Amino acid sequence: MISYRIDVADPHAHLFRVTLTVPQPAAVQRLSLPVWIPGSYLVREFARHLVGVEARQGREPVMLEQLDKASWSAACRGSGALTVSWQVYAFDTSVRAAFLDASRGFFNGTSVFLRVEGREAEPHQVRLGTLPRGWQVATALRPVQVDGAGRGVYEAADYDELVDHPVELGTFWRGRFQAGGVPHEFVVAGALPDFDAERLLADARRICEAQIVFWHGAAAKGRSGANKPPFERYVFLLNTAEDGHGGLEHRASTALLASRRDLPQRGRRETSDGYVNVLGLISHEYFHTWNVKRLRPSEFATLDYTRENYTELLWFFEGFTSYYDDLLLVRAGLIDAPRYARLLGKTISNVLAAPGRGVQSVAQASFDAWVKYYRSDENSPNATISYYLKGALVALALDLSLRADGGSLDDVMRLLWTRSAGGPIGEQDIAEALAQVGKRSYAKELAAWVHGTGDLPLQALLAQAGVDWQTQPAALAQRLGLRVSESALTGVKVSHVLRGGAGEAAGLAAGDELWAVGGWRLRRLDDALRVLLPGAPAQPLLLAREQRVLQLALACPPEAVGAPIQLQIADKPAKAAAALRKAWLSG
Ligand SMILES: [Zn+2]
């Protein structure tokens, strides 16, 4: 069996030590570290944090040759076990790599475990060795022999499984609940002592129950058999810090990062926007357990850890997951319909504010995620559209259309699940499921909404569902076609210049600091409202440092293109709209 031992070597130096034992190695045994972590579509070159790679057989040193940025080969003699050791520098606070200091440790296998090429399909074992006193272990890896704190030996059926179970180490809060007859564990690191653990646990449980019912029907709740969730045990690993927000899905767990200020506080009943954000994150990553970890793009049937793995389907796997994350909070009774409408309005506003929606389709955005979504820069709003945000709106548009046709997107998701037996699918499968549930072809919609760049007919579809669409006045930055940051230190600084806007016409570029306009010193961009009036002549705009003067005019009225949208649950919708809305929001 391929076996690893991982030790906390030096928390202050942020170093793990890993030792790998390969029984009966090949004469030339290749080893390599993944360049990316599934779920996060960017080549991250984890091997840059590996140091001191050494190999031996028994007491004999073995020649190691580094072949490329992430691969080594060991020249073995005979069939004696090959032992390879290395250190990993771990100081990445995200959920995508590895972290270690005196208070906490965390790792994904993709950051720490070299892959034994040719032996990936064999069982892999991990021993969690030396840990600081009092530390515990939390992971969805299968325990073989562990103590009460979780230290000891774990096993995975193969390399894919080994690296799909992140591990949290430290002195964290830990709670448990059952959902759908399956034990769930919830770990929270870094929380303030007054955080309301009971409430978080109860709310997480409601999310899990709602999703298990979503995928497997009410019969799954607390029962066994074919309708059970497709995992034996599930673990939430939530790390809380001063700032940060993110998550990464795995087959039986998720690693989450949230601001500790967003956790509920004991003795307070209100549900802050920050907490709704945390619940949305929990819901999002849990939904991925079905949608992308099992039901997945056919291109991900076998993962290639050495390079980009392209798919055009992230609009479905990320976008539809984003659609259901908040919708299932309504269905779980954690937020009400007006609050859901506000969240949906925000997503619509964000999409409408990006000129890139007219340039890139969500299918293209999916394919290009590796070099665009994950490498956003000052031009991103002009050249790209988020497959999360617009993908969620495609799901909304399809759901409301299907409901008008007597079906629902819920039925499509479940049909895809049963048809593929929770496995790889292509766009053709999605098209067929839509046609079967809607009893008509949705090819036109897929062509326009997924492969086209026009705006979705959401206003009309939402009206049919008893939701009112109101255009709000746009902020000055949007009306000028700018995105800016404002601070006492830097004043007003341009981060993005939107295509076709007044800022672009004036010659502004990202990085410019706006000093004064029309003789008025700018401390906030809104100071310019004194002199910039729609239709009025251009005003001299002084840029700091460069001391350049540009001419800036405000052409757009506040209700210009890209103005934010607010959605409201209509008070007295028509009977059909009321019925559709009820079915949509209650599932
Ligand atoms: Zn996601």
pLDDT digits (tens, 9 = 90+) for 295-330: 999 999 999 999 999 999 999 999 999 999 999 999
The per-residue pLDDT for range 17-66, each reduced to its tens digit, is: 999 999 999 999 999 999 999 999 999 999 999 999 999 999 999 999 99
Residue 141 confidence (pLDDT): 98
Q: How far is the CA of 325 from the centre of ligand 1 (A)?
A: 9
pLDDT at residue 224 tops 70: no
State how far the alpha carbon of 298 is from the alpha carbons of 295, 426, 433, 459, in Å. Answer: 9, 6, 16, 34
Q: How far is the CA of 296 from the centre of ligand 1 (A)?
A: 12
Q: How far is the CA of 114 from the centre of ligand 1 (A)?
A: 26
Q: Quick one: DSSP state of residue 96?
A: S
The per-residue pLDDT for range 83-132, each reduced to its tens digit, is: 999 999 999 999 999 999 999 999 999 999 999 999 999 999 999 999 99
Residue 223 confidence (pLDDT): 52
Mean pLDDT to the nearest integer, 469-481 = 95
Residue 54 confidence (pLDDT): 98
Q: How far is the CA of 246 from the centre of ligand 1 (A)?
A: 9
Mean pLDDT to the nearest integer, 426-438 = 98
Q: Quick one: DSSP state of residue 319?
A: I
Query: What value does the mean pLDDT of the chain take?
Result: 96
Q: Which residue has the tokens 């019925």?
A: 579
The per-residue pLDDT for range 349-394, each reduced to its tens digit, is: 999 999 999 999 999 999 999 999 999 999 999 999 999 999 999 9
Question: 0.85 exceeded by the pTM?
Answer: yes
Cα dihedral angle (87, 92, 95, 99), rounded to 10 degrees? 50
Q: How far is the CA of 417 from the centre of ligand 1 (A)?
A: 18
Residue pair 184/177 in contact (Cβ under 8 Å)? The answer is: yes
Q: How confident is the model at residue 557 (pLDDT cuts 50, 70, 90)?
A: confident
Mean pLDDT to the nearest integer, 258-274 = 96
253-259 and 234-241 strand pairing:
parallel
The per-residue pLDDT for range 153-210, each reduced to its tens digit, is: 999 999 999 999 999 999 999 999 999 999 999 999 999 999 999 999 999 999 999 9
3-state secondary structure of 583: helix
pLDDT at residue 559 tops 80: no
**Helical packing angle, 321-331 and 197-216, nearest 10°:** 110
* 204 backbone dihedrals φ, ψ, rounded to 5°: -60, -40
Residue 358 confidence (pLDDT): 96
Mark 548-577 as b/e (b = at least 16 C-beta within 10 Å).
eebebbbbbeeebebbbbebbbbeebeeeb
Q: What percent of the chain has pLDDT over 90?
A: 94
Q: How far is the CA of 281 from the centre of ligand 1 (A)?
A: 9
Residue 145 and residue 123: Cα distance in Å, rounded? 16
Q: How far is the CA of 248 from the centre of ligand 1 (A)?
A: 7
pLDDT at residue 535 tops 90: no
Q: How far is the CA of 291 from the centre of ligand 1 (A)?
A: 9
Q: How far is the CA of 132 from the centre of ligand 1 (A)?
A: 33
Residue pair 108/165 in contact (Cβ under 8 Å)? The answer is: no
Nearest CA to 47 out of 87, 4, 13 is that of: 87
Residue 490 confidence (pLDDT): 78
Name the helix (H) or strand (E) containing 60.
Answer: strand 60-61
Q: How far is the CA of 294 from the centre of ligand 1 (A)?
A: 14
Q: How far is CA 445 from the centre of its chain?
A: 26
Q: How far is the CA of 93 from the centre of ligand 1 (A)?
A: 18
pLDDT at residue 283 tops 60: yes
Per DSSP, the residues of 402-464 read HHHTT--HHHHHHHHHHHHTS-EE-HHHHHHHHHHHHTS--HHHIIIIIS--SPP-HHHHHHH
Q: How far is the CA of 293 from the centre of ligand 1 (A)?
A: 10
Sequence-distant (6+) residues with CB within 8 A of 356 are 380, 381, 382, 383, 384, 385, 499
Residue 47, CB half-sphere, CA atoms under 13 Å: how many?
Answer: 18
Residue 227 confidence (pLDDT): 72
Mean pLDDT to the nearest integer, 475-502 = 94
The per-residue pLDDT for range 109-118, each reduced to its tens digit, is: 999 999 999 9
Q: How confident is the model at residue 489 (pLDDT cuts 50, 70, 90)?
A: confident
82-89 and 491-497 strand pairing:
unpaired
Residue pair 508/498 in contact (Cβ under 8 Å)? The answer is: no
Residue 461 confidence (pLDDT): 98
Q: How far is the CA of 321 from the centre of ligand 1 (A)?
A: 6
